[in-house]
A and B are shown apart, each in its own frame.
Chain A
Amino acid sequence: MALPQAKQDATEARLSAVTLPQGAGWLMQLREAAIARVREMGLPTARDEYWKFTKPDTLVQADAPEAALFDEGEAPIFDRIDRLKVVFVDGVFDAEASDDLSLEGLSIERLSDVAQADIHWAKELYGSLEERGQDPVHRPLAALNTALAEDGVVIHVTGKVSKPVNLIYHHKSTSSDAILHHVIKLDAGADLTVLENGPAAARFNKVMEVDVADGAAFHHVRTQGRDHERRAATHIFARVGKESAFKTFTLTANGVLTRNECVVEMVGDNGVAHVAGACVGDGDFHHDDTVFVTHDAQNCESRQVFKKVLRNGAKGIFQGKILVKPDAQKTDGYQISQSLLLDGDSEFNAKPELEIYADDVACSHGSTSGAIDEDALYYLRARGVPKAIATDMLTLSFLAEAVEEIENEGLRDEITERLEGWLERRRG
């Protein structure tokens, strides 16, 4: 179907401003195919159904809007965790700040190095899950990423890895426009945890493709911090094999525009996929979680758990879908999205969707929006807890259901501590 003229013009205008990064033949082919996908789909506009609640213009336009640098006075999260650090500054790998990239059970390479190799295993994966994820809903910013990303990590996990890989981002230029593309392949029985944190750039377009083979486990915990003026469009594409697990959690605090998409395809029986997020927004804050989980195998379990705390006119969006294909019998699907509106100015929009073609499934979903429970607040105050602290306690308890999706207790505590800090700094 031909694109509307306005969309086609906007897309061509944007593409005319880009040049494909150079690389080996296999990668150039993939980049060109991705550009072709972008042309075919067109870049998002405010009129697209999938962008009804989030204006894509600043994510699409040629130049990144400026974003003030964020004072990193506070010690970065995960500092107390034993992990392998991989550092990017404004979207460029920083070898000096990173650890030696060797760890038993995996190999890590830079995308920019891989791009020069004549032949590489990543050829089979780079852009392939992104391409699969374009159907039935287009995600053109992810295809644009596949075409343009010059850096990122390419990780092959062959066994159980003893400590997490921590992708750490730094934002040092007010006009940086970072595009990173990570590819992670887990072999059968492999096990890896990836952590991500730090302000990445003024504008950040990131794709992470994760292929979880049979019996493997992938855990992901990410924080998007207090770099308030950031604009980010991130995508996770995961393919989950037989008896394997994929679990991702994101904490988002502040940010004028964040769109996190997570696209999960369950292709092997007895798999588990958990996608969770807690977000806290104050003032000029816009956060969009867009999730799509496809069940294409039997007896799989998926959970989507999203909690948003919004105040002073902050805006939260949740678009979540569970698609159960005809043969995906015994699917157990769960989806909950809830917002806690701390005042009358804040806003939450939710679009929960279930599309089920199998007949023997258990799927449930719910979405609520509400204020602090007055009875609980009175109860706490009647015991002597001051109103501001009582409000924070109830806010944390509201977020807890999402935070509890993180399996590792140490990581869970780190996240809770950050949330407490965020609330404390705002205590009236």
Chain B
Amino acid sequence: MNWFERLFPPKINVSSRLSGKRGVPEGVWIKCASCQATVYGAELERNIQVCPKCGFHMRIGARDRLLALLDDGSQEEIAANLRPVDILKFRDSKRYKDRIVDAEKSSGEREALVVLKGTLKHSTVVTSAFEFRYMGGSMGSVVGEKFARGVDIARELKSPFICFSASGGARMQEALFSLMQMAKTSAALNRLHEDGLPYVSVLTDPTMGGVSASFAMLGDIIIAEPGALVGFAGPRVIEQTVRQTLPDGFQRSEFLLEHGAIDMIVGRLEMRDTLASLLGSLGFRGSLIPTLSDLLPEDATKS
């Protein structure tokens, strides 16, 4: 088991899609980890990785998520060229340097956070999403810097900022540097709020540790996907501390809603409409209705 499987046992996190068992060619037929139904891969993709049979939300890559959210063709990546460095020369059973190479291969991304500028129903937004396949979506210096740059670009554009979290927490291989990203991301949000711009935080499975205990919980509006595991301490650590089995549904989205920690639970298929509606009410609405100048021939508006 790798380290994030230890944190989040396969039972609750790794969808069969990733495990590629049963000799089925990967990507063609996928077994839902929740209802066990076999689903056609293309159908699942159209459904943004939500099981069409039972509605279970499987993990989705950062880029796919943002591309599904933003208007087609509007997307532009921010700070794509930032790369991690092994400043501590960290080595456990593996060198951090090698883990970086592996993470790039397995995720197809260059870091655990993807930031895209674009439009959501014709309204400009800056969006970011965690790539869980990149070292468990852990937050190191690059994630903190990309987040901060995304926020600052939202400020330049006077647009809202949205972040989809999916992370095991801070990246241990960057030690105290990674802890300090909690302050760096929070300071960026402070600037955004000073400018009167909204920040929406969307919690997806899982959002834990240093990510949960910083920007993920700082949204003007906090939304969670159904059934996401969200908390400060991991369930195993808590079980070891309190020496009792945790109740069903503990630290799940529904538990958080019940305890007043989040505003709402929204399914992935309704996310685009919900976000556009919320931001619209906050005063960030795209112009769906064509303006007079769009309708009239160019010289007509001049007179």
Question: Do A and B interact with each other, yes or no?
Answer: no
